[in-house]
């Protein structure tokens, strides 16, 4: 349940490998993958697709191998 102090994942693009571990980890599938890239950076990066679904569990941040997700205030 969302409260005033609930944290949501913030993605640090510079660190992200686009490996989708967080996409799989999310128990409510609120993390999506960008459907298109850019010429310089063509990877499909994860992003918080639907904030209303987020249960603020922090699994994505905990399990990211390269610490590219931080739980932050919404």
Least Å from the CB of residue 5 to other proteins: 23
Contact assessment for residue 30 and residue 49, using Cβ atoms and an 8 Å cutoff: yes
Question: Is residue 54 a contact point for other proteins (CB under 8 A)?
Answer: no
Question: Is residue 23 a contact point for other proteins (CB under 8 A)?
Answer: yes
Distance separating alpha carbons of residues 2 and 57, to the nearest angstrom: 11
Distance separating alpha carbons of residues 60 and 26, to the nearest angstrom: 6
Name the residue with tokens 């102090």.
5
Least Å from the CB of residue 74 to other proteins: 19
Question: Is residue 17 a contact point for other proteins (CB under 8 A)?
Answer: yes
Question: Is residue 12 a contact point for other proteins (CB under 8 A)?
Answer: no
């Amino acid at each position: 349940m969302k409260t005033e102090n609930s944290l949501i994942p913030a993605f640090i693009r510079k660190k992200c490998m686009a490996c989708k571990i967080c996409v799989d980890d999310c128990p409510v599938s609120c993390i999506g993958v960008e459907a298109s890239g850019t010429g310089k950076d063509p990877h499909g990066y994860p992003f918080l697709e639907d904030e209303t679904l987020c249960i603020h569990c922090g699994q994505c941040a905990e399990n990211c191998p390269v610490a590219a997700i931080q739980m932050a205030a919404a």
